[in-house]
Amino acid sequence: MKEDNYIKLEFPSKSNNEGFARAVIACFAAQLDPTLEELNDIKTAVSEAVTNCIVHAYPDTLGKISLRARIFSDNAIEITIRDWGMGIDDIERAREPMFTTGGQERSGMGFTIMESFMDKLRVRSTVGKGTTVTLRRTISVRA
């Protein structure tokens, strides 16, 4: 499928960038003429992925987060959130609902929400090297 447009963005793992990342992705995805619900789904999934970087990839340090998004000619958006932090040793377990290493302040529902709000979720991780999360969603074409 042909790539129509893209953005690349980089920011430090400060929690006040969570809202910034949501706003950026909402602006970019707006080109696909999504419904409010579709836009909210994308914002929610991105919020989860960026929060994971802040909480889990860089628990005690500030690190770099990269956000890339591409729009394709079939009205799909693909979003890649990458960090160079701790990595995940058991991805399958991390994706299980209610599993968290984040303590009482986290719910363990991040990957579950990404999975149910997007069409596709791919997680690649190497311990000590970092994690790449790819989210994909096709926006319905409205008459």
Partner 1 sequence: MKISTSMSDGRLRLYLSGELDHHAAKDGIQIIRREIDRNLPRDCVMDLRELTFMDSSGIAVLLGTHKQMREIGGRFWAVNVQKQPMKVLNASGIYRIVEIVEGEEIGI
106 labelled catalytic: yes
Q: CB of residue 53 vs partner 1: minimum separation in angstroms?
A: 11
For partner 1, give the closer residue by CB, 20 or 84: 20
Catalytic residue among 40, 68, 75, 106: 106
Interaction with partner 1 in 96-125: which residues (CB under 8 A)?
A: 97, 104-110, 112-113, 116-117
Please report, as a single letter, which amino acid is at residue 63.
G
Q: Compute the least distance from the CB of residue 115 to partner 1, in Å.
A: 9
b (16+ CB within 10 A) / e for 51-69: bbbbbbbbeeeebbbbbbb
The verdict on whether 16 is a catalytic residue reads no
- Residues 36-75: x where in contact with partner 1 by CB under 8 A, - otherwise, as a string: -x--xx-xx--xx--x--xx--------------------
39: alpha, beta or left, given left = phi > 0 and alpha = psi -120 to 50?
alpha
- On the CB side of 27, how many CA atoms lie within 13 Å of its CA? 8
**Taking the chain, what is the end-to-end CA distance rounded to the nearest angstrom?**
22
**What is the C-alpha separation between 28 and 40, in angstroms, rounded?**
13
Nearest Cα neighbor of 5 from 66, 77, 65, 67 is 77
Residue 25: CB minimum distance to partner 1, A: 13
Provide the binding-site residues for partner 1, judged by CB under 8 A.
Answer: 15-16, 18-19, 22, 37, 40-41, 43-44, 47-48, 51, 54-55, 97, 104-110, 112-113, 116-117
Residues that are catalytic: 48, 52, 106
